[in-house]
Amino acid sequence: MKKMRKNFLWLIVVISLIGLLLVGCGGGDKPKEEQPKAEEKVFKVGINNFGQANFFARVGREAMIEQIEKNGGEVIATVTADVPSRLAAIENMIVQGVDAIIIQEGDITQVAPALIEAKEKGIIIGSMDAGDADFVDVFVESDNNHLGTAAAEKMVELIGGKGNIVEIFNDAGSMIRVRRNAMHEVIKAYPEIKIVAGFTYAWPDFFPDGKAKMEAILQAHPNPGDIAAVYATFDGVGLAAAQAIREAGLQDHIVIVGIDGDPEAYKEMALPDSPFKATMAQDPDTIARTVVDNVFELLKGNEIPERHIYIPGILVTKDNIPQQ
């Protein structure tokens, strides 16, 4: 009996030791795949559009919002139409703790103080057709010099290398300055082409303003042949000019070239009597998604192949208007 009790006690000791050994070897740990995963950071991205008055701005904003969300980010979307309100929007984004800020259109250097402050806080800065600066991490645009040059060359072709022209512009936009300067470079080679008038369009109410100013120019140059062409630095003001020209009955004597690829410009160009003959079409959807994707690469700590990225434009005339 004593021998049986002794054996029983030894069995208990052995079982206890085996249990301790199993615990020490990790037998009680959860399988590796059951360990909770660390949550990925949700990046907060602020975007600012310089108004929503034109096709490029609207498409770009919608595409940026969609692409940020597709990348798993949180969007703070703002729309402003002047520099003071744009500065205020950027300051508010900084207060809200954004990880990146993307500026669309206008001139990014006009809000440099706020963006430099953001940069000093480690915020990534992106530019979508808003120009470049030292504090910009990634800049995506059409090649505006190419757009301006190609549109001007088409205008020269349409008027046979001679005639009086009108330029419509607004130097508040960095891309508009580049396009305008490109046209000036092109016509230097054509001594019989002369800029006889020009005006700055209002923003964002460009259409009524542009139409009224074009009407005033036509009143000062009322005869067929007084004006041969209108160089519109974006399609919206080209459309305003087209309406004024048609109402003056000069649509067979004046040609318009624009830049953007606005669907409304395509509708105008398709009309049998349209003076709007060509536009250099941009791709705002691709530009927007490209800048967002590159901003996210930088937010993740990755390098990007190029800091300044061009998205090609194409020449559209009556012969190759995209299907609407």
Contact between 96 and 166 under an 8 Å Cβ cutoff? The reply is no
Burial of 111 (0-12, 13-18, 19+ CB in 10 A): buried
**How confident is the model over 127-157, as pLDDT tens digits?**
999 999 999 999 999 999 999 999 999 999 9
34 falls within a domain: no
My answer on whether 114 and 127 are in the same domain is: yes
CATH at residue 129: 3.40.50.2300
Question: How does residue 40 score in pLDDT terms, banded at 50, 70 and 90?
Answer: confident
My answer on whether 54 and 182 are in the same domain is: no
Per the listing, tokens 């205008």 go with: 155
204 falls within a domain: yes
Per the listing, tokens 């979508």 go with: 128
31 falls within a domain: no
My answer on whether 272 and 173 are in the same domain is: yes
17 falls within a domain: no
170 falls within a domain: yes
Domain residue limits at 131:
44-142+284-311
Q: Which two tokens stand for residue 233?
A: 């630095």
25 falls within a domain: no
My answer on whether 154 and 272 are in the same domain is: yes
My answer on whether 73 and 201 are in the same domain is: no
My answer on whether 274 and 288 are in the same domain is: no
Question: How does residue 185 score in pLDDT terms, banded at 50, 70 and 90?
Answer: very high
Over residues 160-184, mean pLDDT: 96
On the question of pLDDT at 18 being above 60, the answer is no
My answer on whether 207 and 262 are in the same domain is: yes
Residues 6 or more apart in contact with residue 216 via CB below 8 angstroms: none
Question: How distant, in Å, are the alpha carbons of 27, 29, 30, 192, 200 from that of 168?
Answer: 78, 73, 70, 20, 6
My answer on whether 133 and 220 are in the same domain is: no
Rounded CA separation 274/266 (Å):
10
Question: How does residue 36 score in pLDDT terms, banded at 50, 70 and 90?
Answer: very low
**How confident is the model over 246-297, as pLDDT tens digits?**
999 999 999 999 999 999 999 999 999 999 999 999 999 999 999 999 999 9
My answer on whether 205 and 89 are in the same domain is: no
My answer on whether 127 and 197 are in the same domain is: no
22 falls within a domain: no
Quote the pLDDT of residue 253. Answer: 98
My answer on whether 277 and 152 are in the same domain is: yes
My answer on whether 113 and 155 are in the same domain is: no
Total of domains in the chain = 2
15 falls within a domain: no
On the question of pLDDT at 32 being above 90, the answer is no
- Residue 319's SS3 state is helix
